[in-house]
Structure 1
Amino acid sequence: MKPETEHFLVLSALGSDRAGIIDELARAASDTRCNIADSRMVVMGLEFAIIMMVSGTWDAIAKLESQLPAVGRRLGLDILSRRTEQRPAQKESIPYSVHVIALDNPGIVHEIANFFASQGINIEAMETSTYAAPHTGSQMFALSMTVNIPGRVHIASLRENFMLFCDDRNLDAIIEPYKA
Structure 2
Amino acid sequence: MELILSVMAADRPGIVERIAAVVASHGGSWQESRLATMAGRFAGIVRVSLEQEHYGELQTALQALRDEGLSVQIEVGDSDADAVESHWIEVIGNDRAGIVREVTRALAAEQVNVIDLATEVEPASMSGGLLFRARLELGLTPGQSMDAVIQALEDLSPDLMVDRLDD
With the shorter chain as reference, the TM-score category is 0.7 to 0.9
Q: What residue number does 2:58 align with?
A: 64
After TM superposition, list the pairs within 5 Å mapping 1:10-21 onto structure 2. Answer: 10-21=4-15
CA RMSD in angstroms comes to 2.1
TM-score, normalised via structure 1 length: 0.82
Q: Which runs of 5+ in 2 are unaligned?
A: none
Preserved CA contact (<8 Å) 1:14 1:79: yes
Q: What residue number does 2:161 align with?
A: 172
Q: Cα 1:155–1:173, aligned 2, differ >3 Å: closer, same or farther?
A: closer
Distance in 1, matches of 2:165 and 2:140, equals 11
Q: What residue number does 1:156 align with?
A: 147
Distance in 1, matches of 2:86 and 2:127, equals 35
Runs of 4+ in 1 over 4 A off after TM superposition: 134-137
Tell me the amino acid that sits aligned with residue 152 of structure 1: G
Which moved further from structure 2: 93-102 or 154-163?
154-163
1:102 pairs with one of 89, 93, 113: 93
Tell me the amino acid that sits aligned with residue 23 of structure 2: A
Distance in 2, matches of 1:145 and 1:157, equals 16
After TM superposition, list the pairs within 5 Å mapping 1:73-152 onto structure 2. Answer: 73-74=67-68, 76-88=69-81, 90=83, 93-134=84-125, 138-152=129-143
- Measured after TM superposition, the shift of residue 13 of structure 1 is 1.2
> For this pair of structures, how many residues does the alignment match?
167
- Measured after TM superposition, the shift of residue 137 of structure 1 is 5.0
Q: Which runs of 5+ in 1 are unaligned?
A: 1-6
- Measured after TM superposition, the shift of residue 133 of structure 1 is 3.4
After TM superposition, list the pairs within 5 Å mapping 1:47-62 onto structure 2. Answer: 47-62=41-56
Secondary structure at the aligned position of 2:107 is classed as helix
- Measured after TM superposition, the shift of residue 131 of structure 1 is 2.5
- Measured after TM superposition, the shift of residue 177 of structure 1 is 3.2
The CA deviation string for residues 125-145 of structure 1, in whole angstroms up to 9 with x for no partner, is 111122233476533221111
Distance in 2, matches of 1:137 and 1:29, equals 47
Distance in 1, matches of 2:22 and 2:128, equals 43
Q: Cα 1:87–1:129, aligned 2, differ >3 Å: closer, same or farther?
A: farther
Preserved CA contact (<8 Å) 1:166 1:173: no
TM-score, normalised via structure 2 length: 0.88
